[in-house]
Amino acid sequence: MVKFNAKNLNIWFGQIHALKGVNIEVEANEILSIIGPSNSGKTSFLRMLNRLNDLHPGFKMSGWLEFDQEDTRRIDIEVLRKKVGMVFALPLPLPLSIFENIAYGVKMHGEKKHQKISAIVEHSLKQAYLWDEVKDRLNISAFKLSGGQQQRLCIARTLAVEPEVILFDEPCSGLDPISTAKVEEAMLKLKKDYTIVLVTNNVKQAARVGDRTAFFLSGELVELDKTEKIFTAPVDQRTDGYIRGKFG
């Protein structure tokens, strides 16, 4: 099943043409990794999927982007963002306690019963492999956690609103290798129930977790294929050059 379908998608931020005629289909329950150098448009593409680009004052788009066969511009934006969660590059806890961080989205969507919220908080933290580390101190500030724990908290917070898709925007760029491994492990387990789009600067990470990999360069989609294919026999020379580390 196709989750997202982008057809000839162009976007601009003021005068800057950030995505140029991109065509991508994101399949349900896959991990699609997006790699490419800085300013290649990979994050801009990711932020199209939950319409976070709309916040940018000079944002314009043309072309087509469907979520579940429906134009993303016609879906109620809060509904789209509830279904398409996002984990940001830096761990970004809200200035609240651990518990309130996870409960925030749930409460915003109208849940008032404390018992139900507690159950969701516990379940989400378990899914993100953080429960055992924080269960005794749910009421301390989320900023007291380590970087890796904060990022898993952010994953749990995203899971708590029960999305269908999770967007990861370079989720491990600020983390050490052990924390990175934990986040990757979480991603692989989540694949069963969620569709994952992962933007990463780390080519090896794409190779480790991605089912398919897309290579972006200067706002264009250069190549999209099964991950093994991209890393063993890429069609385009530029893809080959990038994954061999010739530029980036």
Partner 1 sequence: MRNTQRSQKIAFFFLFLATLLIVVPVGLIVVIIIQKGLPAINWQFLSDIPRQGMRAGGIFPAIIGTFYLVFGAIVFALPIGLLAAIYLSEYAKDNLLNRIIKLAIVNLAGVPSVVYGLFGLALFVVFLKFGASILSGSLTLGIMILPIIITTSREALESVPQSFREVSLSLGASKWQTIRHIVLPNAIPGILTGTILGLGRAAGETAPILFTVAAFYLPRLPKSIFDQAMALPYHLYVISTQVPNVDEKVRYGTALVLLFLVLFMNLVAIIIRYNFRKKKKW
Q: How far is the CB of 88 from partner 1 (least distance, A)?
A: 7
Integer Cα distance of 153 and 98 in angstroms:
8
Q: How far is the CB of 153 from partner 1 (least distance, A)?
A: 11
Q: Which residues would be at the binding site for partner 1 (CB under 8 A)?
A: 50, 52, 55, 57, 78-79, 81-83, 85-86, 88, 90, 92, 94-97, 104-105, 108-109, 141-143, 154, 157-158, 161
User: What is the three-class DSSP state of 67?
Assistant: strand
139: DSSP letter: T
Work out the angle at residue 96's Cα, subtended by the Cα atoms of residues 92 and 101, and round it to the nearest 5 degrees: 65
Specify the residue, 31 or 52, whose C-beta has the smaller distance to partner 1. Answer: 52
Specify the residue, 75 or 181, whose C-beta has the smaller distance to partner 1. Answer: 75
Considering all CA atoms of the chain, what is the largest pairwise distance in Å, rounded to the nearest integer?
Answer: 56
Specify the residue, 195 or 227, whose C-beta has the smaller distance to partner 1. Answer: 195
Q: How far is the CB of 95 from partner 1 (least distance, A)?
A: 4
Specify the residue, 57 or 245, whose C-beta has the smaller distance to partner 1. Answer: 57
Q: How far is the CB of 140 from partner 1 (least distance, A)?
A: 9
Specify the residue, 64 or 88, whose C-beta has the smaller distance to partner 1. Answer: 88
Q: How far is the CB of 134 from partner 1 (least distance, A)?
A: 15
Question: Residues near 32 by Cβ (< 8 Å), separated by ≥ 6?
Answer: 24, 26, 196, 197, 198, 210, 211, 212, 213, 214
Both tokens assigned to 173? 């760029």
Closest to 60 in 3D by CA, of 21, 24, 17? 17
